[in-house]
Amino acid sequence: MNDMSKYVSRVVKSIPPSGIRKFFDLVSQTEGVVSLGVGEPDYVTPWHIREACFYSLEQGYTMYTSNQGLLELREEIAAYEKRRIGIEYSPAREILVTVGVSEAVDLALRALVEPEDEVLVPEPSYVSYAPGATLTYGKAVPVQTYDVDEYRLRPDVLESCITPKSKVLILSYPNNPTGGIMHRRDLESLVDIIIKNDLIVIADEIYSELTYNGKHVSIASLPGMKDRTVLMNGFSKAFAMTGWRIGYACGHPDIIGAMTKIHQYTVMCAPIMGQKAAIEALRHGQAEMKKMVDNYNYRRKMILSGLREIGLDCFEPRGAFYCFPSIKISGMSSEEFCEKLLLEEQVAVVPGNAFGASGEGFIRCCYAASINNIEEALARMEKFLNRHKK
């Protein structure tokens, strides 16, 4: 076969493949796996939402929508965000419906970042922010967060990473992979630094409905922050709609307008079926969502107490559906731990270093799994640790 790799652009070559991908291949070849390695709800989309999609297809809604998304959906989003964080966004000019939050992040980075601009990414972090910055010829700058701080972003650490080239700060709380959240006072401690250094915040709040000790606070709702924040949210986690790929961005018309320009030339619009389903989710999805969140909370407590019982140190995660325990007692690296755990006990968890260097020494355990699977995984992990404890 010819070597065509010389044709692939340098910037794409420079991005490492996702650390999760490699691990995924390994897991796929293993039989009888109990997986705590997924990054999505274990619920199927509630039936009334699926049914609304069938109905829209029956009615013949199979066409493009406006670039920004159905006005009806943007109106529902505006009402929802008003309820959720108390901010009013104009459906006409300040909301853009995207193909998942992933597209929204990509659009925002492309709309904001120029070559050499620095994008501050608190780590451990979801896997796509840093590559997204690289693809715009910007530079992703990791900002460490620590388990002793429950992975909150500390103002002094943020400040130490800022240079004259810093332009964008990514804030992704509740956090994947750690389950950490930012309280109001934590966010307030960042505002002065953000304004003083003229940063724009990309706030990925996809897990914001999944908090277990009080309501999520959005940085956009703090004084002086609305215009500086590109707020992102979607339906995947709260409404168990990952495969529908519907997300949205809210923000200043200048930025949303710029993002819309890229969106119209690249994907044109988010799929109409998903948009129709999203309308139903916002109108009638609260009750089912509450049930799901209550159940995640039960499992969160189960897995946290279980992990601690088998000897793994773990701070209490207050959001999303992940625990991020330390595996120090095993004396292994994250990858070694995950590979051995998979081969010896057929339990899949994700190595912490897949989410940045600072995740080394930790693993991500997703508790969006049935109680039975959580108990089974914990029992197997206990056997594993008894063999390997240092």
Partner 1 sequence: MELEKKILNLIEHDAKISPKAIATMLDETEEKVKAIIDRLEKEKIIIGYNAVINWERVGDDGVTAMIDVKVIPEREVGFNRVAERICRFPEVRCVYLMSGTYDLSVVVTGNTMKEIAWFVSHKLSTLDNVQSTVTHFVLKRYKQDNFIFEKAEEDKRLVVSP
For partner 1, the binding residues (CB under 8 A) are: 18, 20, 23-24, 27-28, 33, 35, 37-40, 42, 44, 126-128, 176, 297-299, 301-302, 305, 348, 350, 354, 371, 375
**Shortest separation between residue 40's beta carbon and partner 1, angstroms:** 6
Q: Could you tell me if 87 and 77 are in contact, meaning their C-beta atoms sit under 8 angstroms apart? A: no
Q: Which one, 179 or 251, has the nearer CB to partner 1?
A: 179
Q: Which candidate, 222, 149, 221, places its Cα nearest to that of 192? A: 222
Q: Which is nearer to partner 1, 84 or 299 (CB)?
A: 299
Nearest to partner 1 of 33, 329 (CB atom): 33
CB of 33 to partner 1, least distance (A): 6
Closest CB to partner 1 among 23 and 248? 23
Q: How far is the CB of 241 from partner 1 (least distance, A)?
A: 13
Closest CA to 145 of 123, 168, 127: 123
Strands (E), 322-386: 322-323, 347-348, 350-351, 363-366
Least distance from partner 1 to the Cβ atom of residue 75, Å: 32
Q: Is 365 helix (H, G, I), strand (E, B) or coil?
A: strand
Minimum distance from CB of 359 to partner 1 (Å)? 12
Least Å distance between CB 134 and partner 1?
17
Cα distance between residue 225 and residue 218, in whole Å? 10
For partner 1, the closer CB: 25 or 198: 25
Cα separation, 337 vs 74, in Å, equals 45
* Least distance CB 188 / partner 1 (angstroms): 29
Q: How many other C-beta atoms can be found within 10 angstroms of the C-beta atom of residue 154?
A: 17
Tokens found for residue 64:
């493009």
Rounded to the nearest whole angstrom, what is the least distance from the CB of residue 374 to partner 1 in the complex?
10
Q: Which is nearer to partner 1, 39 or 69 (CB)?
A: 39
Of the candidates 217, 258, 207, 227, the one whose C-alpha atom is nearest the C-alpha of residue 101 is 207
Interatomic CA distance for residues 17 and 189, integer angstroms = 35
Distance CA 158, CA 121 (A): 10
Helix, coil or strand: residue 127: coil
Contacts of residue 367, Cβ cutoff 8 Å, sequence gap at least 6 = 36, 296, 299, 300, 302, 303, 321, 322, 323, 374
Nearer to partner 1 by Cβ, of 291 and 383: the residue is 291
In the complex with partner 1, the residue whose CB is nearer, 322 or 384, is: 322
